[in-house]
Amino acid sequence: MFQGNELPDINEMFQRATSTLGTPDFGIPRMPAHLKPILTPRQAVERLWPAVRTLLSRTDGPGTQGRALDVEHWPIVCAVVTQQLINQVKGVLDVKAALRMAMESAIYMSKIDPKTVPQQRATSAT
Query: Is the pLDDT score of 15 beyond 70?
Result: yes
Per-residue model confidence as pLDDT tens digits over 40-66: 999 999 999 999 999 999 999 887 888
Please tell me what DSSP assigns to residue 73.
G
Residues ≥6 apart with Cβ < 8 Å to 28: 20, 40, 41, 108
Kindly give the interhelix angle for 74-89 and 95-110, rounded to the nearest 10 degrees.
150
Query: Is the pLDDT score of 32 beyond 90?
Result: no
Query: Are the CB atoms for 59 and 66 separated by under 8 Å?
Result: yes
Query: Are the CB atoms for 106 and 42 separated by under 8 Å?
Result: no
Per-residue model confidence as pLDDT tens digits over 58-102: 999 887 888 888 999 999 999 999 999 999 999 988 899 899 999
